[in-house]
Amino acid sequence: MNATTALGVAAATFGVAMGLSPLLQLRRVVLRGSSADVSVPYLAVLLVGFVLWLAYGIALANAALIVSNAVAIATYAVTTAAVLRFR
């Protein structure tokens, strides 16, 4: 495996981990039973970023961008649903 491939694998793996990171906030919301300290505008900015990166990945046919941002959007949807439910 060359350096570029290794870097791509590392970036894709970390991208998926970043996409799953809102689950940490979701866990806190569920445990506390409140989402009062979660910024909804922040979540909206994240969604725009995820969608733009997903579109870019699709335009490039780049699997790493597509997978990591598809995971991020799915995680975002679950987190946002919980945030709105616990308002």
Q: Which tens digits make up the pLDDT trace of 14-28?
A: 989 988 998 999 999
Question: Do the beta carbons of residue 30 and residue 81 sit within 8 Å?
Answer: no
Q: Is 10 domain-assigned?
A: no
pTM of the model: 0.83
* Structural domains counted in the chain: 1
Position 4 in a domain: no
CA dist 61 and 58 (Å) reads: 5
Range of the domain at 28: 22-85
In a domain, 37, yes or no: yes
Domain contains 36: yes
Distance, in Å, from the CA atom of 5 to the CA atom of 74, rounded to the nearest integer, reads 26
d(C-alpha 87, C-alpha 39), whole Å: 11
Residue 41 falls inside a structural domain: yes
pLDDT one-digit tens code per residue, 27-48:
999 999 999 999 989 889 989 9
Residue 32 within a domain: yes
Residue 3 within any structural domain of the chain:
no
Residue 12 in any domain: the answer is: no
Please say whether the beta carbons of 63 and 11 come within 8 A: no
